[in-house]
Amino acid sequence: MGTLETYERIARVYDLLDLPFEYGRYRRIRPLLFSGLSGRVLDAGVGTGRNMPFYPPQAEMVGIDLSPAMLARAERRRAALDAKVDLRRMDVTRLDFPDASFDAAVATFLFCVLPEALQAPAMAELGRVVRPGGEIRLLEYVRPTGAFRQMMARLWEPWMRFAYGAGFDRRTEAHVTEAGLKVVEARFVVDDLVKYLTLRRSQRA
């Protein structure tokens, strides 16, 4: 099942499925994506809009997602929060925006659901639409290094693939250079399981 079909299927129960993780770990790390940002900011893979409570009030937010069902949920959240965000259906590997049309871009657990072959194209597109010097900030799952968490990841992975089309085996950070970007910051924010990455265009890109 492809990414679109997966999220069309689970959209109505997505927030419920993720509720323990949202309040157990995500809500405390989402603000990292938006700290100090202003201007026009792209939220790539906006999903049901759970980043909306953390949007900077001074920013002009645009949220994109491939799934109409997920966007419908995001529309409801936008209305409930009176959030200022322009929601659009779009594929992150083929963004319908001009070059350098954003001051920054963020993505929350987007790359862990993208197939390996789409990692570099998606990052390259974010690099294309963000102005030179602007940041691309990611929160992503990675395969843990500790023995216990590796065991737990192997137990969870079949469920993650079925429910979300996601995996711990995506090599997102390894594709940064291929995408014409460079890593400015990379650190774990939830044990050795969730990583926060800040990227910028490399000088030759």
Q: Which domains does the chain have, with CATH numbers?
A: 3-201 (3.40.50.150)
pLDDT of residue 109: 93
CA distance 184 to 198: 5
Radius of gyration of the chain (CA): 16
pLDDT tens figures, 63-83: 999 999 999 999 999 999 999
109-157 pLDDT, tens digit each: 999 888 889 999 999 999 999 999 999 999 998 866 766 666 666 666 6
- Does position 169 have pLDDT exceeding 50, yes or no? yes
Mean pLDDT of 161-169: 63
d(CA 187, CA 32): 12
* Buried residues in 25-35 as b, exposed as e (16+ CB within 10 A): ebeeebeebbe
Cα(127)–Cα(83) distance, rounded to whole angstroms? 26
Q: Which residues of 7-21 are buried (b: 16+ CB within 10 A; e: fewer)?
A: bbebbeebbeebeee
pLDDT tens digits for range 26-61: 999 999 999 999 999 999 999 999 999 999 999 999
Give the torsion sign (CA, 141, 67, 115, 155).
positive
Asked if 85 contacts 113 with a C-beta cutoff of 8 angstroms, the reply is: no
Torsion sign (Cα): 164, 67, 42, 121: positive
> Which among 180, 191, 190, 14 has a CA at the least distance from the CA of 99?
180
Q: For Cα atoms 50, 14, 52, give the angle at the middle one, nearest 5 degrees.
A: 10
